[in-house]
Each structure stands twice: as structure tokens, then as C-alpha cells.
Amino acid sequence: MKKSGQIILLWLVWAILLIGFQQLVGNRFQPKRPDGALSWTLGETGRTSQKDQKYLNEPFMNEAVAWDSEYYLSIAVGGYDDPDSRWAELDGDEYALNYAFFPVYPMLMRLTAVPLQQLGLDALPTAVLSGIIISLFGTLLGMFALYDLARDELGHDGAMRALFYLLIFPTGFFLAQVYTEGLFVGLAFGALAVMRRGRGRWTFLLAAAILSALATMTRAVGIALAPLLFLSMFDLSLAGWRLKTETFRSYAWLFGGLAALLPTAVFLIWNFSAWGNNFHTIEAFYFGRGAMKILPSIGNWREAWLAMRGGESYLVGVGGQTAVYFALEFTALLLGLVASLFTLKRHTAVALFSLAAWVIVVLSGAPQSMIRYMLVLPAIYIFLARIGKHYTIDRAWTIASLLLFSLLTILYTFDFWVA
């Protein structure tokens, strides 16, 4: 079987088994509510907590819909100012919480829904199906890109191992849900692969710039790709920064700078628009997040550490559940940092992107969702695939990751908090 066929088959089998598993657990048992992972989850996960949330109650493929899915579905069906979405009153003004989410994923859901309308489904189930399809095909694109990034060092078997580790990462199930992770992995990993293969050719550089701009408007950490577009004109080796080709020697600064400007310009236009202003307002005052909130982040991570250790903290829900939750968060952060540092020499662009994304989310203010945010760091899978050449390490990580994958998938399926 050709290599591309192996990748597609792995993706297809994973998608079928994951969707089937979520259907299975949803029909087999019911967990005890509420979820005590954090103090605020106690009030959000009761039996009737979501009874008035239209976008979380659609029966069609409901296992793939939870938490932030509500906002993506709302934007796709009713737009950012959808009256059926959730709103918050801040400083005397009302804001739709939809504004805290970037536009590319829900806009693609809306476009994909057009041909799917021929299936005869109503608008909301069509949007759900659209979101899952985009997530899955984004994941497939990300798999091809990750394979290309890893193959030269690790060979075919090692690159396939990296893909497998991506799919079974403890939060890898998000790649097949109504969430942005699948699409973002496709765009960001794709941009990195195109930069690497471009060798200074302007067509490749333009393609990478477009992918980076789309990634930036999918998740905030996509902006970390912008400087790499310029650096991709150079050979980032220990021998120094050297232009990759003679062709661009006199124009490298121009072409690299213009390419880097595309995602930056898109981000700045959005940032200073009404969308961006509303985004920052909702993120800061409702979700408690922002850019480079260093001191608040340090304080909040201290609270998270106390909560994990059983101390007094505003984050504590039910002691044991809180401890497990933050143990996974801290472990994921450590893995992301170690993987990025250990791939810095051989995969400089991948490592720099992973490190930048790591810093952005760690200093975003709220000490939660890190195990999901680490999912989009490509350095993790290259690092794991490298050490996974050892039989025992490979089997040990596979067992540990799959056990956590199953646990977190079940929690998400029942609308419990995961990340």
C-alpha cells in the first residue's frame, strides 16, 4: 500500500472507531453528576444545567457537541449576534459570547452546510455534521503535514508513529468534535510543512502565508507562525542563518517580510475591528483570558498548584477530582516544554512554533485547558516518535495515552469538563 493510502486508512479507522466509541458509551451508562473537577464545573454539569442551551441539546451526533461547540454552532447558524446564543452584560452593555471565538471555523461550517442541506436535515444538525467533517479533514491534512515534517529524521515507520501518537494523544478526540483543534492542526502543521519544503520559492511562501493567516483566524496561537514565515527563508542551523537559495539572496528580506505581514496584517485588521474589540472584552471579563497576562497568570498557576496539592484555592471543586484534573494539566505542560526543547536542534521551526504557542497559552491568564492546548504542538509528536523507537517506551506511552484518551473521551461525551 502506498504511504498516502496508509495515512488515509489510519485516519479513517481512527475516526470510525472514535465516533463509534462515543455512541457506545453514551448508550451504556450515565455518570454521577455534577462534575467536581473545578469549583465552577459543579454548577455547569448538573442534569438540567444545559436545558436552556439550544445549541447543546440537538440530538443529532450530540456526543461530538459540548462546551465551546455551542458558540461555533451559534455563529455558523445565526451569526455573531445570534439572539439564541448566550449573552453577558458587562459595564452596562450586552455582548454575545460568540465574539470570544475566531471566525474561520464557523464560517467554513456555514459554507460546508450549503451542499449538506441536500440531505434534508434542519439547519442545526447540518451545522453539527459540517463541524465534524471540517475537523476530520483538517486532521487528515495535519497528518500528511506531520508525516512530511517527521519523515526525514525518523523514516517512514517513525513518521507513522508520530501520526499515531497525534491521534491517540489524551485529548486527541477533540480532533473529531465540533471544536477548532482538527482544523487548526491542518492549517498550522500544513503551513510549517510548506515552509520547510518551499526552499525559498515564492509560490510556497505565499501558500504558507495563506495557511498561516487562516490558522491565525482559527486560534490565537496561529500568530506564532508569522515570524517563522520570514525565518523560513534561512537555513536555521548551528552553522548560522544562511539563505536557502541564491535566487532570493537579494530579495529575502522583501519576500520574507511581505509573507510574514499577511497573517500579521489579517490579525491586526481583525484586532482593531469591532469583532476584535468585542473579543478582547469577552475574553478578559467573562473567560478571564488575555495576551501575555504575566502576573495574573503566575498568581492563577499558584492557585492551580495549591488546588492540586489539596490546599485552599478558589479553583477547588471536589478534592480528588480537582487533583487529577490539574495533575494532567501540569503533566501536559511539562511534556510540551520538554518536547519543544528537545526538537529545537533538528526541527527548529517546529520547535519555535511549539515554544511560542506554549508561552502564549501558559500566560493567557486562566490555568485550565492546557492538555487540550498542548494537542496542537507538533514538537510533542516528533519527540515522542523519536523516543518511541524503543519498544518498551512505545508500548508504555501507547497504553498510558489510550487509557487517558478513553477516560477523557467518556467525560467529554457526557458533557463533563475535560479541557
- 336-369 pLDDT per residue, tens: 999 999 999 999 999 999 999 999 999 999 999 9
Residue 88: beta bridge partners? 95
Alpha-carbon gap, residue 135 to 44, rounded angstroms: 26
Three cell numbers written together for 28? 451504556
What percent of the chain clears pLDDT 70, i.e. is strictly above it? 93
| pLDDT of 260 | 75
Helix locations, 286-347, DSSP H:
294-308, 319-342
Average pLDDT over residues 125-148: 98
| pLDDT of 247 | 47
| pLDDT of 319 | 85
- The position carrying cell 511549539 is 354
Q: Classify 126 as helix, strand or coil.
A: helix
| pLDDT of 31 | 92
∠ CA 394-398-401, rounded to 5° = 135
Convert the pLDDT of each residue in 46-98 to its tens digit. Answer: 988 888 899 999 999 999 999 999 999 999 999 999 999 999 988 888 999 99
pTM, two decimals, is: 0.94
| pLDDT of 241 | 47
Q: Which amino acid is at 11?
A: W
Average pLDDT over residues 279-284: 93
Of the given ranges (120-134, 238-252, 323-337, 387-401), which has the lowest mean pLDDT? 238-252
Alpha-carbon gap, residue 350 to 242, rounded angstroms: 18
Average pLDDT over residues 195-205: 77
| pLDDT of 90 | 84
Are the CB atoms for 371 and 419 separated by under 8 Å?
Answer: yes
Helix axes 252-271, 274-285, angle to 10 degrees: 70
Does residue 170 have a cis peptide bond before it, meaning omega lies within 30 degrees of 0?
Answer: no
Element (H, E) at 234: strand 234-237
pLDDT band for 26, please (50, 70, 90 cuts): confident
In the chain, where the domains are located: 3-292+391-413
The CA-atom distances, in angstroms, between 166 and each of 170, 361, 401, 412 are 9, 19, 10, 18
pLDDT of 402 > 60? The answer is yes
pLDDT of 139 > 70? The answer is yes
Average pLDDT over residues 388-397: 98
| pLDDT of 49 | 82
pLDDT of 39 > 80? The answer is yes
Average pLDDT over residues 100-115: 97
Average pLDDT over residues 267-290: 92
Alpha-carbon gap, residue 80 to 15, rounded angstroms: 30
The overall average pLDDT reported for the chain is: 92
Q: Classify 272 as helix, strand or coil.
A: coil
Radius of gyration of the chain (CA): 21
pLDDT of 240 > 90? The answer is no
| pLDDT of 76 | 98
Of the given ranges (12-16, 17-21, 231-235, 322-326), which has the lowest mean pLDDT? 231-235
Alpha-carbon gap, residue 185 to 215, rounded angstroms: 8
